[in-house]
Chain A
Amino acid sequence: MNKAVQLQLEKEPNRKLYLSTIGIILAALLVWSFMGVNITGFDPRGTQIASNIFWGILSPDLAFLFDFRTAGGVPYLLFETIAIAFLGTIFGSLLAIPISFLMSPSVVSKPVAFVTRLVVIFIRTIPSLVYGLMFIRVTGPGPYAGVLTMSLTSIGMISRLYVDVIENLDRGVLEAMTSMGCNTYEKIRYGILPQLFSNFLSVTIYRYDMNLRDATILGLVGAGGIGAPLIFAMRSYRWNEVGSILIGLVILILAVEIFSNKLRSKLVNG
């Protein structure tokens, strides 16, 4: 081999010890987690139920799936879920704007940013179901509780991503505007807002995608949406209904995902 190449190759730091330590820790963790999870294999009735689910999805309850008239049909439930996720995302993203400014070290001082971060972690760790139960005390069961829960649980991720946007602002634009003699209002209006707006919007759309998926969870505590009928149907083994709901849900989420990806790539590319 070429001597220069050889020399360069030998310069590479020896990371074997470091990597093998991490490897051993990982292996130990894996073994530990195997001990904790009792691998039960299939429940005796498991295969039977699995095939029931499969057939249920293949032969959905069509009358239920295309029931456009009553409030109990799949289309209306999906519509309600869309509405809950939409309002939740809107409220959440509006609340996240001030929080994200308070969280970015380039806007406020370090201690303030740190404290806000802790608060956001605090908000984020409480499972959404607990919030659901808390909000139901305020609003009574129904989609409204779902909206409030969704707003609160969206804040964490949205504000974290907003902070990234704020930190990555192109300051060159601002300097250029200062040198042109623009005042503060003009700098914010033409220098900062256009940069923030499309990126914030992109984050928000992304979160909407996720909220739509998470909205099914809310049904568990009675906070509206399609989750409750789905879980009731499952617990009472009505697999045809489960099939229709799952089909509706999958199609909706896929459609929204495709649409939101298109929209976001358009936003980012201008």
Chain B
Amino acid sequence: MRETVYDKIFKPKTYTLSNGKEVKQHASRMPFILLIVLFITIVSWEVTGVDLSMIRTRGYQFIVILLAMFPPNLNFMSNVWGPLFDTIQMSLLGSIAGALLAIPFALLSSSNIIRNQLLNGFFKLFLSILRTLPTLVTALIATFIFGLGTMAGTVAIFIFTLSYIGKLMYEHIENVDMGAFEAHESMGLSKVEAFRYAIVPDVMPTYLSVSLYAFEGNIRYAAILGYVGAGGVGLLLDERLGWRDYPSVGMVLLILMLVVFVIERISEYFRMKLT
């Protein structure tokens, strides 16, 4: 371990081993880190006005809505399916389109495929900036541009998926062992062929499993996009919550949970198979 300022203030303990060699044990940095964390916690505590006694005195209010959701309004079930399918379709289309477009973006960002630092840097920055935009904000902007409805939600999911898969993929591609690629080239294959037989088989399982994972998460995201008018089951949730029709909200959440659970199972099964 390197000597740092910290070690100069808190001197390391020195042990003398039986063979006369001296070993230094650096003072733990734990107290220092804990102090910083504690400090930030206190500041945040003050800023956000956290008051734990409130949970004790008014915590039951949290349960009130939850209890009002039971029993779920079964008659409402038939109203849920339409928006729910919208949500699934939105996230499916957005995920597939995003995953496909992520391939060229990831390739352009990988310094071992495209040897142009300027281009790599540009696309990496572009993906990073896309990633910082919260999905809900993208969705809201999309509703202004594409009008209210499922199209806006699809675009928001598409942008998020593109940035997410793009980043994970270029990180993976940059860590690919280029030996196989060079070996293929030295055997006389063209660059494209070498790419096809050396890089693609290496990257493919990760790509598919990341895409599945993104799709899984997107369904959950898509469920809230309706709040800003971007279609899907969120619209229903917003409306019913506004009317304080909690049994119907409970029904929506119940069905949403079942669907997410099933989709997660399916996707997990395939992801296990891929790795």
Question: Which A residues fall within an 8 A CB radius of B?
Answer: 26, 29-30, 32-43, 46-47, 49-50, 53, 79-80, 82-84, 86-87, 90, 121-122, 124-130, 133-135, 137-139, 142-144, 146-148, 213-214, 216-217, 220, 224, 227, 230-231, 234, 246, 249-250, 253-254, 257
Contacts and interface: CB of A to CB of B under 8 A. Distances in A.
Given A46-B144, A87-B44, A138-B55, A220 B227 contact: yes
B146 interface: yes
Interface of B: 37, 40-41, 43-45, 47-51, 54-55, 58-59, 61-62, 64-66, 85-86, 88-90, 92-93, 96, 128-129, 132-134, 136-137, 140-141, 144-147, 149-151, 154, 220, 223-224, 227-228, 234, 237, 241, 249, 253, 256-257, 260-261, 264
Nearest to A156: B220
Contacts of A122: 257
Contact of A37 (B40, B90, B140): B90
Given A130-B237, A138-B61, A254-B128, A143 B261 contact: no
A20 B211 CA distance: 19
Nearest to B257: A125
Given A234-B144, A249-B132, 11 more contacts: A32-B89, A80-B47, A90-B37, A121-B261, A124-B220, A139-B54, A148-B55, A216-B136, A231-B228, A246-B133, A254-B128
B144 A79 contact: no
B59 A138 contact: yes
Contacts of A227: 134, 136
A90 B89 CA distance: 35
B93 A33 contact: yes
Nearest to B233: A127
B174 to A, nearest CB: 14
B249 A130 contact: yes
Nearest to B261: A121
